[in-house]
Structure 1
Amino acid sequence: MSTKPVVLFVCIHNAGRSQMAAGYLTAMSGGEIEVRSGGSEPGDQINPVAIQAMAEEGIDISQGVPQLMTTEQVRDSDVVITMGCGDVCPIFPGKRYEDWELVDPAGKGIDEVRPIRDDIKRRVEALLAELRSA
């Protein structure tokens, strides 16, 4: 069993917000944290504008594949961050849950996605600082 904290990012399509958050946490944590992401209704590819926005930050999420979030993933995670999946995300007692209200980048251009990306970065930095001080 891993002693690293496990963080799961969940959004509906697992194609934008959760992939960007997972990309940031993976890059910033240097392997200290096991990072997972999933969606309640996974899309068929990562949002190309999200890929472009993250590439501007030097983070490559182009190899990501939208995954179906499973009940087991939620159960096995220490922290579950949801991003607009509403009531479809399973809840387990004793887990830390946060819901980040973020605009869905689907269908938006790069100028509209950058502020979403930057908001995600700030939230991931704060989460990482909390996990490191726990």
Structure 2
Amino acid sequence: MRLPKWSQTIRKHATRRNVTTTCRGSTISLDQLQRYTNGPFLINEANALSQRRLKFNVDELCSLASKIGSKSPVHEIEKMEGDFSKALLLKKIDGTELVAKLPFKIAGPPHYATASEVAVLQYVGQHTEVPVP
């Protein structure tokens, strides 16, 4: 099956080879992007780290992101993570940014974990002066 020309262009620009991955200002590898690197665990570290390792297709993530909003390709992925999810700031060539939130298995069912975070952000936005996305 031959892909449309625009799809080939997006795939050409939205590959790992053309995307810089960073964490806290330093360049990181694909393996470091998928591993939990936020700090050590005091007990059962191997188990805790394995529960927080998240394998995902970076090429497909970049391809999807390049189709959302502005049609610009992703040029940088900045990793930010917490104890229950990995947040990736996807920076596009045209300056726009997207956030991809990928919950770890320990966060519970992904739908509920995401719905809970959305509800908290809505509450904070409606009842405080704190800026929220």
TM-score interval w.r.t. the shorter chain? Answer: under 0.3
Q: TM-score when scaled to structure 1? A: 0.23
Higher normalized strand content (fraction of residues): 2
Which structure exhibits the higher relative contact order, with contacts defined as CA atoms closer than 8 Å and separated by 6 or more residues? Answer: 1
User: TM-score if structure 2 supplies the norm length?
Assistant: 0.24
